[in-house]
Amino acid sequence: MPRNYQTQAIVIKQSKLGEIDKILTFYTPELGKLKAVAKGICRPGSKLGGNVEPLTYSLMMLARGRNLDIITQSQTMDGFLALKSDLGLMAYGLYILELIDSFTMENNVNRPLFDLLLDALHWLSQINSNNEIVLRYFELHLLQHLGYRPELYRCVKCNSSLKPVVNFFSSNQGGMLCPRCSEKEYLPCPLSVDALKILRLWQNCDYVTARRVKVESKLSLELEQLLQEYIGYLLQRRPKSITWLEELKKMS
């Protein structure tokens, strides 16, 4: 491997390393998730500065290091200023970054996931975007790219086609249960006919089609609760940024 290399990167998070350095976690198209050191970034006038802040899409030059590689240069390709200048949009963006960080391991390449991440941040930045649809679409396709695509067409227990009635979602089974099979499952999540139709559509369409769907608040909440319950089950914890999102929704 060459000592110096270049990559596109979306910065996920950063943490302090001593007084003037930081460790950055970022996601790349060719190398997956990486960690590297940004030396001297806390010094006034650092050339890296805002180019390596979370919610930034940058072109980075790195040098191989003994334990962690070192970021030598960084040029912002998209700073997503619309997200950073709005507290609510920033919360949505940081939730997306947390999911990427929580579900991925270092050096595990997944180009479709990188493209989904970049697209989702662009969608959030659009004027009058439906942020809830962005999150639900992102969550569904994140699960798909990671191998956790939920089964939405047949009962995962008896393999029968689902009828247009209230069926049930099982997180530990990874998909839908018919009413009969749900009786043997611990706390399955009921799912309305309309909610199942929307999930099926979003699972198989592009975002342009997905955003045209009109979703009433009650239905939106149903979709949110189901997907976040499934994600929480897979992670074995509740994403921290959900609490902030909930607080901001109450304030608004």
Residues 36 and 151 in one domain: no
Same domain? 166 vs 106: yes
Q: What is the mean pLDDT of the chain?
A: 94
Confidence (pLDDT) at 124: 97
Tens of pLDDT, residues 51-68? 899 999 999 999 998 889
> Which residue segment(s) compose the domain that 55 sits in?
4-79
The two beta strands, 21-28 and 4-17, are antiparallel
Q: Does one domain contain both 63 and 180?
A: no
46 shares its domain with 152: no
For residue 4, what are its two tokens?
């110096």
Is the pLDDT reported for residue 45 higher than 80? no
- Given a cut of 80, whether residue 49 has pLDDT beyond it is no
Domain count, the chain: 2
What is the reported pTM?
A: 0.95
Question: Which one of 79, 96, 119 terminates a domain?
Answer: 79
In the prediction, which pLDDT does 211 show? 95
Contacts of 148 (CB under 8 A, 6+ apart): 174, 230, 234
Say whether both 137 and 204 belong to one domain.
yes
| pLDDT > 70: percent of the chain | 100
For residues 140 and 247, state if they share a domain.
yes
pLDDT of 26 reads 97
Query: Span 147-153, mean pLDDT?
Result: 97
The reply to whether 11 and 136 lie within a common domain is no
135 and 195 in a single domain? The answer is yes
* Residue 62 bridge partners (DSSP): 5, 71
Single out the residue in 79, 109, 132 at which a domain terminates: 79
Is it the case that residue 1 has pLDDT exceeding 70?
Answer: no
pLDDT mean over 98-115: 97
- Same domain membership, residue 49 and residue 118: no
Share of the chain above pLDDT 90, in %: 85
For range 17-34, the mean pLDDT: 94
Predicted confidence at residue 178, as pLDDT, reads 97
